[in-house]
Amino acid sequence: MKNKIGIIGFGRFGQFMAKHLKKKADVIVTDEIDLRTKAKEFGVIFSSLDNVLRQRIIILAVPMESLKEILNKIKKKVLPGSLVLDVCSLKMFSAKLMKQILPKDVEIIGTHPLFGPQSAPGSIAGMKIALCDINAKKNTMAKVKIFCENLGLKVFTTTPEEHDRQMAVSQALTHFIGQVAKKMNLKRVELSTKTFDDLMNIIDIIKNDTPALFENMQSMNPFAKETREKFISESIKLNKKLRRGN
């Protein structure tokens, strides 16, 4: 018997999730915009928020800046014993909000798929996902881990704080470098090295990021500023050293 999963938010990432989750579960989605035609294209059901909240597994696929509003909207409607998961790229932020706002009788797991429509346009096999136990039973965590592994994902269990520390480097710093390179208007060249191609691949991936997403990963991660400023400081030092050498 398939799991039944409700997804709140049917934007680019919600659609991306539905495409893969429907292989292992019956998926019902909702959005503030009527996207029933798009849902039909993906082979999932579009319905009202109230109907989605009748599902025992609910995934919040909304922008970070909308998370608090959505949580306040659903807190009195979500069924006792339900499992609520989010997909925010910052886990300290979302974990704190979900724990504060959702009822105590709701299980909560923070997730961060370390991939998306740009980085995994085809198969998600071998891609990574982080899981954070916010308020979940051990058995529930184990089941979610197995479900993710059955999708072909590599699962990493971590804490919200450790997750955000690592994201300050692997996400915030990488996107910062990519944005700088983008603003330099770098173009692919015929005589490229493998490392340059890798840099251009980063630019290709982040070019569709919304300004809000970039701003959030830089300003809402408590470890991002220190990492970013250390990079800038070391860049300045290196440039000064090269100038002296010349």
The reply to whether 193 and 91 lie within a common domain is no
Q: What is the pLDDT of residue 246?
A: 65
* pTM check: above 0.85: yes
Residue 5 forms beta bridges with which residues? 27, 57
CATH number for the domain spanning 47: value is 3.40.50.720
Q: What is the pLDDT of residue 109?
A: 98
The reply to whether 220 and 176 lie within a common domain is yes
Q: What is the pLDDT of residue 5?
A: 97
Output the six-digit token pair for 196: 């340059």
Question: Quick one: CA dihedral 90, 92, 95, 101, positive or negative?
Answer: negative
The reply to whether 73 and 150 lie within a common domain is yes
The reply to whether 130 and 192 lie within a common domain is no
Q: What is the pLDDT of residue 182?
A: 86
Q: What is the pLDDT of residue 163?
A: 98
What is the tens place of the pLDDT at every residue in 100-143?
A: 999 999 999 999 999 988 777 789 999 999 999 999 999 999 99
Tell me how far apart the alpha carbons of residues 153 and 129 are, in angstroms, rounded to a whole number: 7
Domain extent, residue 172, equals 162-245
Tell me how far apart the alpha carbons of residues 88 and 92 are, in angstroms, rounded to a whole number: 10
The reply to whether 114 and 175 lie within a common domain is no
The reply to whether 241 and 170 lie within a common domain is yes
Specify burial of residue 142 (Cβ count, 10 A radius: 0-12, 13-18, 19+).
exposed
Q: What is the pLDDT of residue 203?
A: 86
Cα→Cα distances 176→20, 41, 191, 203, Å: 29, 35, 25, 10
Domain boundary among 158, 181, 214: 158
Q: How many domains does the chain have?
A: 2
Cβ pair 164, 132 in contact under 8 A: no
The reply to whether 216 and 228 lie within a common domain is yes
The reply to whether 124 and 82 lie within a common domain is yes
Residue 133 forms beta bridges with which residues? 109
The reply to whether 80 and 201 lie within a common domain is no
Domain boundary among 158, 185, 211: 158
pLDDT tens over the chain, length 246 residues: 678 999 999 999 999 999 999 999 999 999 999 999 999 999 999 999 999 999 999 999 999 999 999 999 999 999 999 999 999 999 999 999 999 999 999 999 999 999 988 777 789 999 999 999 999 999 999 999 999 999 999 999 999 999 999 999 999 999 999 889 888 988 999 999 999 999 898 888 887 778 888 999 999 999 999 999 999 999 999 999 999 976
Domain boundary among 139, 158, 177: 158
Q: What is the pLDDT of residue 80?
A: 97
